[in-house]
Structure formats: C-alpha cells, structure tokens
C-alpha cells in the first residue's frame, strides 16, 4: 500500500509539473492582484488547471506603486524589470505562457522579442494595442479619471517630446497617424518593437519562436482607438478615419517582425469578442482562452 501511495504521489507530481506556468501582465490603472481583475483571472485559471503556477506581475514594491507605474514608469525599464523577474523565477526555467491585458499585451510582446530566456511559448494579448493606440485617449479605467485628464492634456501638448516619452507610459505607444514621422523618430518604445526605424533580426527571430500568438479584439471597444490595432491594423497614414488590416500594412508586407511568416505557419490567432474593452464573460474565457493554456 505504501508503494502504491508513492507511485500515485509521483504521478500526481508529474501532472502538476506538466501544467505550463502562466505569466500575467495587467493593464493601465490596474495592479497585479486586484480581486476584481488580475486576482480573479489568476484564481479561475488555478481552479481550472490544477497545479499550474501563475505569476501576476507586480512592478514596484506594493500595489499602489504597481498601479502608478502603469502610468508613469518608462516602459523600457518595466520590460527590463520583468525580464529580470522571469529569469530569476525557477518555476519558469522550462518555459511559460504569457497573457497580457490591454497595454500589458504589447508589453509582454516586447518581453518575447527582447528576452528569449526563459522561453515564452504562447502569447495571448487581450485587447493589446499592437500598432499603438489611445489616439485621442477617449476614456480611462476605473478611479483613474483625474490622472487621465492630466495625461490627455500632456499628450496633446507634446506626446513626442523627450520628457513626455521618458516619463509617461501612454506616450510611449501613442501613435498619431497625422504625425507619422514624429512617431517613428521619437517614440522610444512602440516604434522600436514594431521595427519602425530599422530591422532588429533578434526581435524577429524571438517573436517567431512563439508557438501561438493569440490576439483578442473587443468588437465594441470604446477605449482603444482604433480597435483594429488589437489585431495589428491601424489608420491609413495621414488621416484618422479609414483603417487597414494587418495584411495591408507595411509591417506585414515587408515582414519586418515575421508576422507574415507566422501567419502562413498558422501561428497567428485572431479572436473577436462582443463587448467593450476588457469586457468578457467567464464562460467565454473558459471556452476560448483556456485551451491555449492547457
């Protein structure tokens, strides 16, 4: 009987070890462990995938700093901090899945492109603004409206000035279709990871190493402008009315990130869900997203 228990214990441990770890990065104005957002996601994943290790990223020493840093900490510094966290975490050394919400989706893409060790296996971007967004900054989440009022004014005054780029997260993925040259020249984050100033072959190679790159677009999104940015589309250059899908962008046609090759290999997954920004049901999450984590 003791021998049987030992065998069952080994099998159980093997099952737990087989669950691929998950790394989560929250969005603007949120924190790692909010019980109504990331804490809730962590809980339901753990309930559905027994034995899984879930790391919900915290940038800063406490939840207040984590929330504030989602507005005011240079994104490149945040990505470096996360890469360091992941490299030091023994649970992740064999690889992990990543799931980012809103701006956390594009930040985790930067992690995939810049930090291949430990390896990211699948990337799920839930409402991430991959061609830049919040053009016009239409609204702001939760109780952060006073911060967002200030951010709107700051962005309108000079989104591409060095001071604003260095200290305001949303400026770093602010993509003004009426000022494309300013964006390419002065964006210190998005223009870099989207290969706007030249081709970094390492970025391309690392992103193409993903098994799947899943992009969720919210079909009634009133926060991300344009919503098609969540699928790598954007406005036609020089105007802010007509949009084009990923396949019509120079990023895809020139295959600067390897997205065309990934698409042909079946690695890109485009999902649409009815609802406003980050509004989805638990049932949708279970049936649509969970399979990519198992």
Among all residues, which ones are annotated catalytic? 102, 221, 277
Alpha carbon of 102 to those of 39, 61, 134: distances in Å? 16, 22, 11
The residue with tokens 């890109």 is 268
Angle at 77 between CA 75 and CA 55, to 5 degrees: 85
Alpha carbon of 16 to those of 19, 46, 290: distances in Å? 6, 11, 16
Report how far residue 196's alpha carbon sits from residue 155's, in angstroms, rounded to the nearest whole number: 21
Q: How many CB atoms lie within 10 A of CB 199?
A: 12
- Give the torsion through C-alpha atoms of 186, 236, 252, 104, to 10 deg: 60
- Any bridge partners for residue 230, and if so which? none
**Number of DSSP helices (H) and strands (E) in the chain, helices first:** 13, 8
């Amino acid at each position: 009987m003791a021998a049987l228990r030992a065998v069952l214990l080994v099998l159980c441990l093997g099952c737990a070890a087989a669950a691929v770890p998950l790394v989560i990065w929250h969005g603007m104005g949120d924190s790692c462990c909010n019980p109504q957002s990331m804490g809730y996601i962590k809980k339901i994943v753990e309930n559905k995938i027994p034995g899984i290790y879930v790391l919900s990223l915290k940038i800063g020493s406490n939840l207040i700093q984590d929330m504030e840093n989602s507005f005011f900490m240079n994104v490149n510094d945040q990505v470096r901090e996360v890469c360091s966290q992941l490299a030091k975490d023994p649970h992740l050394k064999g690889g992990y899945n990543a799931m980012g919400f809103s701006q956390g989706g594009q930040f985790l893409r930067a992690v995939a492109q810049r930090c291949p060790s430990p390896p990211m296996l699948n990337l799920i971007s839930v409402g991430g603004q991959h061609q830049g967004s919040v053009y016009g900054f239409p609204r702001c989440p939760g109780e952060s409206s006073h911060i967002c009022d200030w951010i709107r004014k700051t962005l309108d005054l000079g989104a591409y000035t060095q001071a604003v780029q260095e200290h305001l997260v949303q400026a770093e993925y602010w993509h003004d279709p009426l000022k494309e040259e300013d964006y390419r020249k002065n964006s210190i984050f998005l223009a870099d990871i989207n290969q706007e100033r030249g081709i970094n072959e390492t970025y391309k190679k690392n992103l193409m190493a993903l098994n799947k790159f899943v992009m969720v677009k919210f079909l009634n999104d009133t926060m991300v402008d344009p919503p098609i940015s969540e699928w790598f589309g954007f406005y036609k250059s020089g105007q802010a009315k007509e949009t084009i899908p990923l396949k019509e962008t120079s990023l895809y046609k020139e295959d600067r990130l390897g997205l065309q090759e990934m698409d042909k290999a079946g690695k890109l997954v485009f999902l649409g869900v009815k609802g406003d920004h980050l509004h989805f049901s638990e049932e949708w999450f279970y049936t649509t997203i969970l399979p990519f984590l198992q």
